[in-house]
Amino acid sequence: MEYDFNVLRFPDRLVAEDGGRVIAALIGRQSEQVDLVLDGSYADPRERWNVLVHLVSMGEIRLREMGIRSAHCFVPQAIVRSYGRRLKSIGFNQEAGATFLKEIF
């Protein structure tokens, strides 16, 4: 089985072998689930966005200090299209459906 078991990206691996040949594997890494709780009545949309960008920046520092190298954000389906664009603009990648991932290095 050919697969890039990048140690930095997937430090946790559980491998099943048959005669020394990898036939299956579970690969993983620690990730933090992040949820945004925002007072929609605070200031104007631009100021709320600035607060969010600042929180994400500070969150990256905290996660890095904890040794966690990725954050997952699950967005309600109703706002995936509009809010997903915003998340992408600050480094999140859409993984599947309403799941966004930001890798922290």
Q: Which of 63, 64, 76 is nearest to 33 (CA)?
A: 63
Q: What is the pLDDT along the chain (105 residues), one digit of tens a residue?
A: 566 666 556 677 788 989 988 888 888 878 999 988 888 899 999 999 999 999 999 999 999 999 998 999 999 898 899 889 999 999 999 998 899 999 997
In this prediction, residue 37 carries a pLDDT of: 85
> What tokens appear for 93 in the block?
């990648």
In this prediction, residue 9 carries a pLDDT of: 65
Q: Which of 53, 60, 100, 58 is nearest to 79 (CA)?
A: 100
Domain assignments of the chain as residue spans, ordered by start:
1-30, 31-103
In this prediction, residue 25 carries a pLDDT of: 85
∠ CA 33-73-40, nearest 5°, is: 110
In this prediction, residue 26 carries a pLDDT of: 87
